[in-house]
Amino acid sequence: MPMLEIRDLHSYYGQIHALKGVTLRVDKGEIVTLIGANGAGKSTTLRTISGLVHPRQGTILLEGERIDGMPPHKIVQKGIGQSPEGRKIFPRLSVTENLEMGAYSRSDKDEIKLDMEMVFALFPRLAERRKQLGGTLSGGEQQMLAMGRALMTHPRVLMLDEPSMGLAPILVETIFETVQKLNQEGTTILLVEQNAAKALQIAHRGYVIETGQIVLEDSAANLRKNDSVRKAYLGES
């Protein structure tokens, strides 16, 4: 049974048909990446899974349990954690308070403390700045904070939306190394990423989305060799 499965998902923004029958799955322990051009429907797919966009048609299953139609906070409680595009941290809250917000729906205080220490061990810069306001952090530190906040939900599936956007190359490497480390420690990950080359280096499988439709799915290794993927997304001729 897949950890996360989407079947024939249709989502709209007003009259705009944003997702047109998207079907994909993420198996336990995988990194699955969703790649595509700007406006192709990548972020909409994640927002629909997390309940921020309501699908008009289709099914979303988390380990066999339907979660489409649930409110976002219930979906978080079920085990979907998301680091959103643009980070969207709380700029006037401290690093620690931002992380605490990730655990707002949890009541297991001892486990919350352990998860926070795990986040600080994963991102030592956040530990050094735990009392600093989120809005005063660098872009890379804010991305670490957004990922850390998502991890504080104790997710069964971690969804990452454009984690490398706007970061210096050395920080891009750090973020992707962290994603790999999380996966090696057992976290199942659905990764949306404009940097297709990096995403396909660390993913097990991938999907290509164009104008709201999945047009290609394969192992990451095969997608890296695919001529159309190489030309359209890897900058190769």
Quickly count: other Cβ atoms within 10 Å of residue 106's Cβ. Answer: 16
DSSP secondary structure code for residue 94 in this structure: B
Beta-bridged to residue 182, according to DSSP, are none
CATH assignment at residue 184: 3.40.50.300
Position 237 scores a pLDDT of 64
In the chain, how many domains are there?
Answer: 1
From 127, 131, 107, select the one nearest 117 (Cα to Cα). Answer: 127
Q: Give me the residues paired with residue 5 across strands.
A: 25, 61
Quick one: tokens of 195? Answer: 């940097």
What residue has token string 């984690």? Answer: 163
C-alpha to C-alpha distance for 196 and 190, rounded to whole angstroms:
14
Catalogue the E-assigned strands of the chain. 4-13, 16-26, 31-35, 57-62, 65-66, 80-83, 157-161, 188-192, 205-210, 213-219
Amino acid 200 reads L
Sort residue 21 into left (φ over 0), alpha (ψ -120 to 50) or beta: left
Question: How many angstroms separate the Cα of 87 from the Cα of each of 112, 148, 195, 215?
Answer: 21, 11, 17, 28
Per-residue pLDDT of the chain (237 residues; tens, 9 = 90+): 899 999 999 999 999 999 999 999 999 999 999 999 989 999 999 999 999 999 999 999 999 999 998 999 999 999 999 998 888 999 999 999 999 998 888 888 888 989 999 999 999 999 999 999 999 999 889 999 999 999 999 999 999 999 988 888 888 898 999 999 999 999 999 999 989 999 999 999 999 999 999 999 999 999 999 999 999 888 876
Q: In the prediction, which pLDDT does 58 show?
A: 97
What pLDDT score does 153 carry? Answer: 92
Give the whole-angstrom CA distance, residue 59 versus residue 44. 15
Whether the Cβ atoms of residue 3 and residue 62 lie closer than 8 Å to each other: yes
Instruction: Please answer whether residues 198 and 165 qualify as being in contact, where contact means their C-beta atoms are separated by less than 8 angstroms.
Output: no
- Residue-number span of the structural domain to which 68 is assigned: 4-233
